Chain A
């Protein structure tokens, strides 16, 4: 067993997660909060749902493994996102943005980009649930 320092996180829906400090510090938000949190016994509150945090920790764990090849990581990343539905993906983007976990945030944004590539504006609006705007308004803006 490693003698790494551990950190306890408490999600917005009350669940607690214990992980190695080094792994948790992949989130700059957690890192900054931990440095100002003098009391090591109380868990650090984070504004992330537990089911999203589970995915984040899954990703961090895999990317912290030693002796893992580039190919294996690429396969993992591909499968990690392949089965993720849209709303989970959006939750992940928001969560990693809040956590300032840039590696996973970039990977999640890349996945969103892949899913909307070559779509028409209508299809993209559907994908993101954006309401149609006033045509005239758009015309005015574009010509300003």
Chain B
């Protein structure tokens, strides 16, 4: 060990990360203390690593963190994630941020700190990742600050106005990843809508948000994931770069992704409510899609006005995995997936919310459309099967499938019941 250069010890300490382990290890000898002082790049204060944090008073915690941070001089990654509703006062946090300003690249900060303007105090020039929770961001609108290196921005349960968020994004010319979760938007003003604009964003994840309107202008967007959201109207303005779309437990009317449907490769929709024509309009144009999952889709309207002509020419030549639930059977009849064969479909997953006799017929219909199928998966909700009649239906279905699959010997059948 005597031969380990101090930089290597710094490497090892940085991988320990958890502040307590780092401090304990550096008590061993002078070389380790030197490594901690000059070669430590990561420091983590996380309740999960050391539950004792939760038992300490606020002021004790502030002292410990201050002492530990001030004994380093090249910190690149700082992570402070504490439970138990602790609240720091702004002064020590400002000290930590100013002290590490020149070298800090990654900051994870999950502690409610009133009167702290964190964006103003952290280093702008070098910050690459900001992961913030439980704080308030105000007054960014008139600021001249920019974050030239920021690549990833994550905000969880942060109080901010939609305008300030929009301005913040504009101040990050290289941002590629945006995560918004359970945001506390300042909707007391006239803005119930959010307009975000970024030419560099590639990956957007929005969760647990309720807004009247969202407009995203993102010319480089590749992946969009919306979860547990209630959004009045949603529009995506982009350069057809979108490849992955995930909508999970979302209500959107109307939904507009423009021409982006053309290049989508993966589409996963589950527990989704929208207007019927919007949905048909989007799905029927997914000519490049490879994997598609449409489960538990509901429509707010009975609209029959959608165009059938698009359906007759619709085809899905690259589709290799398809997952559907039976409420879409009627939509398929109306041309949701066109009328042609699904030549390259290899895996088909069909599910039901409530078992019914007509489900078997639907399986037959679809099997006939998939000449090169290799695997059929039946996803069934059986926890609600209680009455004698329902059990009978399930048993009949099982028998029917077994007989049916003898005709399709090349297809492997699997049952997944929940």
Contact = CB atoms under 8 A, between A and B. Distances in A.
Interface string B282-301: 00000000000000000000
A50 B33 CA distance: 33
Given A113-B15, A141-B30, A120 B8 contact: no
B21 A118 contact: yes
Interface residues of A, number: 25
A112 B28 contact: no
Given A109-B8, A118-B21, A130 B16 contact: no
Interface residues of B, number: 19
B1 A130 contact: yes
Interface string A18-56: 000000000000000000000000000000000000000
From DSSP, what is the main secondary structure of chain A's interface residues?
Answer: helix
A59 to B, nearest CB: 17
Interface in A121-137: 121, 124-125, 128-130, 133
B11 A90 contact: no
From DSSP, what is the main secondary structure of chain B's interface residues?
Answer: helix
Contact of B16 (A116, A128, A133): A116
B29 A125 contact: yes
Contacts, number: 54
B16 A117 contact: yes
Contacts of B24: 119-121, 124
Contacts of B30: 133, 141
Contacts of A90: 1, 4
A66 B140 CA distance: 49
Interface in A90-144: 90, 93-94, 97, 105-106, 109-110, 112-113, 116-121, 124-125, 128-130, 133, 138, 141-142
Given A90-B4, A109-B15, A121-B27, 17 more contacts: A97-B8, A105-B11, A109-B8, A113-B12, A116-B12, A116-B16, A117-B16, A117-B18, A117-B21, A119-B24, A121-B25, A124-B24, A124-B28, A125-B29, A129-B1, A130-B29, A133-B29
